[in-house]
Amino acid sequence: MPLVTIDLIENVFTPSQKRELIEKVTEAMVAVEGEKMRPVTWVRIKEFKENDWAIGGNPLNASAVHALAAGKAA
């Protein structure tokens, strides 16, 4: 029974985007493990509060992630 956990920072992805992540990750797992495993393939999203996640000692918040995604300096 596979369990995939996706860690995200709060307020970065919309509910619709999170649903799409779940659907696409499920499809990727089923493509590898076979259709019969779909009913027991779990995908969950765990969200961390802004600034509870850091890279290189620099805390990240949703604004910084959105800036990075837009190709701008955080």
C-alpha span between 28 and 19 (Å, rounded): 14
> Within the chain, how many helices (H) and strands (E) appear?
2, 4
pLDDT digits (tens, 9 = 90+) for 16-53: 999 999 999 999 999 999 999 999 999 999 999 999 99
H/E segment holding residue 9: strand 3-9
Mean pLDDT of the region 3-20: 97
The set of residues, in sequence order, having a beta carbon less than 8 Å from that of 36 and lying 6+ positions away, is none
Query: Is the pLDDT at 70 greater than 70, yes or no?
Result: yes
pLDDT value at 68 more than 70:
yes
pLDDT band at 74 (very low <50, low <70, confident <90, very high): low
